[in-house]
Amino acid sequence: MDEFFWIGLKAVPGIGNVSFRRLLERFDTPETALNASPASLAGIRGITPVVIDAIKSGEWRRFAEEECRRLEASAARLVTYTSCDYPKSLFEIPDPPPFLYVKGELRSCELSIAIVGSRRATSYGIMTTGNLAEALASHGVCVVSGMARGVDTAAHKAALRAGGRSLGVLGCGVDTVYPPENRALFEEMAVKGCLLSEFPLGTQPLAENFPRRNRIISGLSSGVLVVEAAEKSGSLITAQYALEQGRDVFAVPGNISFATSRGCNRLIKQGAKLVDCVEDILEELPEYARASADAPLFAPPARTFALTPKEAAIYELLARSPLHIDDLISQTELTAGEVSSMLLHLELKGAVTPLPGTHYAVTG
């Protein structure tokens, strides 16, 4: 069972997202990496003797067995970064998770806007969130948020109410309902939208998980809209990730006497786009086109292709910026011949495009 080895490799102490993908670049599958000789493992950047000992001890097996049982019981599934439905926009962020736990329909290419804000939102914040999320959904835009109280919950509910799609990115396992009062929304999202997490099943909503989760919220989205946020809000962390990932940042202005307005008002001072209607967001999106009222405004290019680990290594680098073939060779675990071969495979899949001077870029 493939899931067993994907989960097992990730469970080895000292193997993070980057070293996980380097191992697959060299060995193609998690099973081969876990069974590789210590000498061949030692040739991978970041794989220390301590990590090699942890692989060879086999202690990861118990966790992988238990997690596979939990996965079967939870009705969730694993979507690996080589899968055709893994969101290709996540390759643009510095450390995309090698796999996601998913409930519902995950699409590899979907025009999405994240809406984040205060857990203790005012009635103004809830109303504004609902209006904007509903308007985005009615224009065919998927609404991404974090399933928390306040603004997040209002965004998900409004998108579903408008008949649109919504993605909930969790700071806990996809089998953990948090906050508990959102059980009905949790179940509706799994049917009409999608719930996803990089955290193992059973993971509790610990405070340290949420900043990490926020990079995926922004990574899945073309832009991040902050509705209400205090000066030291987690929503501002998401906005910072969005800037680092090259996403647009939008903010709704608020009453200057409210603490929940200070974060948004400061973002606007720093250059975030002020939003008071949905058009303020739509006009910033490259896919925006004025169409007839009964047709979706957006038709993003289809990027539904599976990748081998070697192809993914190339695609991930090119997703961030066009590169010369020599840069691709130097920045991967691949030989010059393998890079040339992978580029050809990616071209045939329509995933990358050659540019003058043996440079390459992702298509779309």
Over residues 241-280, the pLDDT tens digits come to 999 999 999 999 988 888 888 999 999 999 999 999 999 9
Output the pTM of the full model: 0.91
d(CA 12, CA 235): 31
> Hey, which residues does 197 pair with through a beta bridge?
101
Kindly report the average pLDDT of the chain as a whole number: 92
User: How does residue 291 score in pLDDT terms, banded at 50, 70 and 90?
Assistant: very low
**Tens-digit pLDDT profile for residues 166-204:** 999 999 999 999 999 999 999 999 999 999 999 999 999
195-244: pLDDT as tens digits: 999 999 999 999 999 999 999 999 999 999 999 988 888 899 999 999 99
pLDDT band at 293 (very low <50, low <70, confident <90, very high): very low
> What single letter denotes the amino acid at residue 132?
L
- In DSSP terms, 102 is beta-bridged to 77, 196
Interatomic CA distance for residues 274 and 1, integer angstroms: 49
pLDDT at residue number 298 = 54
Backbone angles phi, psi at 254, to 5 degrees: -135, 170
Determine how β-strand 77-80 pairs with β-strand 99-104.
Answer: antiparallel
Tens digit of each residue's pLDDT (9 = 90 or more) over 106-132: 998 899 999 999 999 999 999 999 999
Q: What is the largest CA-CA distance in the chain?
A: 63
Contact (CB, 8 A) for 71 and 102: no
User: Among residues 27, 92, 143, which one has the least CA distance to residue 321?
Assistant: 92
Residue 294: the pLDDT is: 46
Name all domains of the chain by residue range, CATH numbers in brackets. Answer: 2-74 (1.10.150), 104-282 (3.40.50.450), 309-362 (1.10.10.10)
174 to 64, 195, 201: CA distances (angstroms):
17, 7, 6
Judge whether residue 290 has pLDDT over 50. Answer: no
Bridge-based pairing of strands 223-226 and 112-116 is parallel
Peptide bond into 179 cis (omega under 30): yes
Cβ atoms within 10 Å, residue 122:
19
